[in-house]
A and B are shown apart, each in its own frame.
Chain A
């Protein structure tokens, strides 16, 4: 059969371009090879098509092909020349790696979120006279409340009690927002003194400047 001039677009239409495109229709992906000249498609073929069971799997495969252009070129030839089971054998580990990457990314994000919400009472100075209630990660922390003492033993006395306060640090943070810093300080110190009195009556207090040093929250 002789070639006809009608088979090809005229030169005025522009240069020929050979390209591989990944197309998605729902959960199906296909690789289309095209030889085109401007808007005119001179030749094309569907090199590969696969219907995936779920959207996530289709997303993962699309992501693999989009990230690695060389793999796309390889796949476009391999899918037309190699056994079908070989293709599945290659795609499976890539999908598993993609899943593992996604899970690890998810865990990292969760950890970052947890770190960002982490709440703790920290010494603000080396002399341990100043306590601060901080929320956030090491890189970015917000002070929600603070309290100062004149002696280190007073700080220790407060810390002995506050760690066993019902509700923990979250309750203190909520109270700080609700009642303000100065009021909260008064309320907490009163609570501490009342607790010390109860514990002393129960005979569980130690005799030092830190009556609750060996108390573990029992009433």
Chain B
């Protein structure tokens, strides 16, 4: 067999361009915007990230069908609109517990260079609609806290939905006002007398369920792709968003282990072939069987694979063969 050659498709590290800045608060009265949100905030994820050789060509997500195309379309959309910063349409990630939805969100955030926040949303969600009570004022909603704490106008916010307690009616409407890209650039916060521009945030809707993955009910539990979102939310996603099912079957388990190993190494700045190889070996040796494999007593959760990869990387770094 001849000597193989290959070329990596990792993006070239660019010379950092000065970040674009934007103001996201528009006070209605004389009161200043909370958390210093009246100062300009950075817009991140531009330049090389948006080029075809950038995010769209980066390793680590090939085990999730459709995701590479999704981020490529998002990058193209921003580039063609003349926006030198990353934003993606609302993305619904469906999948069983442990299938790797959080890994996907973290991959996008890290490789786009954006801060990542998580916002649990339950049936009683009522952002921006509570009535002020005397001197008592509520804290700003989480997306505002996210922008203020990261000094970034376009973070990624994971909206964590619970299948057993989905927002309906007014709660659903409140959530839609916040994430609908057609109207959230003028999101009104009554308590703080201001409009805020939430239109640069990338929203990822993670639909959680509490069915623990197990071998026994793998064939009988409902397909998460059939999960019914509340009707208006479902319409919003159909109109302007995308849905990706993160359900790594056994056939893709090796690729998932490799993607996890690469991403963990890349995050640590050690994505050379030898290190990735050692970390991959450690992960795959400990978890040789994937979801749905008949030899698999306990299906490996993606978080377990990530933890294993981090442990192996630390061990490998100490000169011990993993």
Q: List the one stretch of A74-82, A155-163, A195-203 in contact with chain B.
A: A74-82
A145 within 8 A of B: no
Q: Closest approach, in angstroms, between the C-beta of B194 and any C-beta of chain A?
A: 31
Which 6 A-B residue pairings sit nearest by Cβ, starting from the closest? A51-B2, A43-B52, A3-B50, A45-B9, A8-B76, A50-B4
What 0/1 pattern do residues 88 to 125 of A give for CB contact below 8 A with B?
Answer: 10011001000000000000000000000000000000
- The residue on A at minimum CB distance from B83 is A3
User: Which among A35, A46, A48, A83 is the interface contact of B52 at CB below 8 angstroms?
Assistant: A35
B100 CB contacts on chain A under 8 angstroms? none
- The residue on A at minimum CB distance from B249 is A70
A52 within 8 A of B: yes
A144 CB contacts on chain B under 8 angstroms? none
A140 within 8 A of B: no
Knowing A2-B84, A16-B73, A35-B57, the reply to whether A46 touches B2 (Cβ < 8 A) is no
Inter-subunit contact A84/B4 (CB<8 Å): yes
Inter-subunit contact A82/B258 (CB<8 Å): yes
B51 within 8 A of A: yes
Q: 9 A-B contacts, Cβ less than 8 Å apart? A: A1-B14, A2-B46, A15-B69, A46-B6, A53-B1, A53-B2, A76-B62, A77-B262, A79-B4
Inter-subunit contact B57/A45 (CB<8 Å): yes
Inter-subunit contact B52/A7 (CB<8 Å): yes
B8 within 8 A of A: yes
User: Which among A9, A42, A50, A95 is the interface contact of B2 at CB below 8 angstroms?
Assistant: A50
Q: Closest approach, in angstroms, between the C-beta of A66 and any C-beta of chain B?
A: 16
Interface range, A side? 35 or more
A11 within 8 A of B: yes
Inter-subunit contact B76/A80 (CB<8 Å): no
- The residue on A at minimum CB distance from B274 is A83
- The residue on B at minimum CB distance from A49 is B5
B47 within 8 A of A: yes
Inter-subunit contact A80/B72 (CB<8 Å): no
Query: Interface on B for A, CB 8 Å cutoff?
Result: 1-9, 14-15, 17, 46-53, 56-57, 59, 62, 68-69, 72-73, 75-80, 82, 84, 251-252, 254-255, 258-259, 262, 271, 273-274, 276-277, 280
Inter-subunit contact A88/B1 (CB<8 Å): yes
User: Which among B2, B17, B72, B82 is the interface contact of A5 at CB below 8 angstroms?
Assistant: B82
Inter-subunit contact A8/B258 (CB<8 Å): no
B274 CB contacts on chain A under 8 angstroms? 83
A78 vs B276: C-alpha distance when bound (angstroms): 10
A10 within 8 A of B: yes
Inter-subunit contact B258/A77 (CB<8 Å): yes
A72 vs B49: C-alpha distance when bound (angstroms): 27
Q: Closest approach, in angstroms, between the C-beta of A51 and any C-beta of chain B?
A: 4
B49 CB contacts on chain A under 8 angstroms? 3
A57 within 8 A of B: yes
| Those of A1-44 within 8 Å (CB) of chain B | 1-5, 7-11, 15-18, 28, 33, 35, 42-43
A10 vs B274: C-alpha distance when bound (angstroms): 40
Q: Closest approach, in angstroms, between the C-beta of B79 and any C-beta of chain A?
A: 5
B69 CB contacts on chain A under 8 angstroms? 15-18
Q: Closest approach, in angstroms, between the C-beta of A102 and any C-beta of chain B?
A: 17
A87 within 8 A of B: yes
A217 vs B68: C-alpha distance when bound (angstroms): 80
A154 within 8 A of B: no
Knowing A35-B57, A73-B255, A83-B277, the reply to whether A15 touches B5 (Cβ < 8 A) is no
- The residue on A at minimum CB distance from B62 is A77
B17 CB contacts on chain A under 8 angstroms? 1-2
Knowing A7-B51, A35-B72, A86-B277, the reply to whether A1 touches B15 (Cβ < 8 A) is yes
Knowing A18-B72, A46-B7, A82-B280, the reply to whether A8 touches B252 (Cβ < 8 A) is no
Q: Closest approach, in angstroms, between the C-beta of A9 and any C-beta of chain B?
A: 8
A46 CB contacts on chain B under 8 angstroms? 5-7
Inter-subunit contact A2/B47 (CB<8 Å): yes
Knowing A78-B258, A83-B277, the reply to whether A70 touches B251 (Cβ < 8 A) is yes
Knowing A1-B17, A50-B1, A83-B277, the reply to whether A7 touches B79 (Cβ < 8 A) is yes
Inter-subunit contact A74/B255 (CB<8 Å): yes
Inter-subunit contact B262/A8 (CB<8 Å): no
Q: Closest approach, in angstroms, between the C-beta of B248 and any C-beta of chain A?
A: 11
A43 CB contacts on chain B under 8 angstroms? 9, 52-53, 56-57
Inter-subunit contact B9/A80 (CB<8 Å): yes
User: Which among A2, A15, A49, A88 is the interface contact of B73 at CB below 8 angstroms?
Assistant: A15
